């Protein structure tokens, strides 16, 4: 039996940095810190350490050919979201999309979003 490679799940702080990299593109530590630090009290060294850890995990790539070093996300936002959802679906719902949708219906989803979800499901049914 093949051993399944463990999915690396970014922490909340790592996801915040990924959102910055996805929206701003490849960035230096200082650029990431300027945006992330605007929301809370974090030091430059904290941002640097998080990016170093993310690099070790393979969540971001680092261009060391120039100074300052440039970091970029290893995966696109949509691919990371797909992997996280797939992982969540397996862990929380035993892989059952039906159970996930049933749980969503118990949530307070605004009517406007429900209409959009229905359109997406109808489109999937047509394909």
pLDDT at 5: 57
Q: Identify whether 68 is preceded by a cis peptide bond (ω within 30 of 0).
A: yes
pTM above 0.85, yes or no: no
Residue of 25, 76, 23, 69 whose CA lies nearest to 47: 69
pLDDT at 42: 84
Phi-psi region of 18 (alpha: psi -120 to 50; beta: other; left: phi over 0): alpha
Stretches in the chain below the pLDDT threshold 70: 1-6, 39
């Amino acid at each position: 039996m093949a051993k399944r490679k463990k999915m690396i799940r970014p922490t909340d702080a790592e996801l915040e940095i990924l959102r910055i990299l996805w929206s701003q593109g490849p960035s230096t530590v200082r650029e990431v810190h300027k945006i992330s630090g605007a929301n809370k009290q974090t030091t430059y060294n904290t941002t640097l350490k998080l990016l170093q850890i993310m690099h070790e995990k393979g969540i971001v790539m680092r261009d060391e050919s120039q100074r300052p070093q440039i970091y970029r996300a290893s995966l696109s936002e949509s691919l990371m979201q797909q992997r996280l959802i797939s992982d969540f679906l397996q862990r929380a719902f035993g892989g059952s999309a039906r159970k996930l949708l049933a749980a969503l219906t118990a949530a307070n989803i605004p009517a406007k979003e429900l209409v959009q979800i229905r359109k997406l499901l109808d489109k999937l049914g047509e394909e």
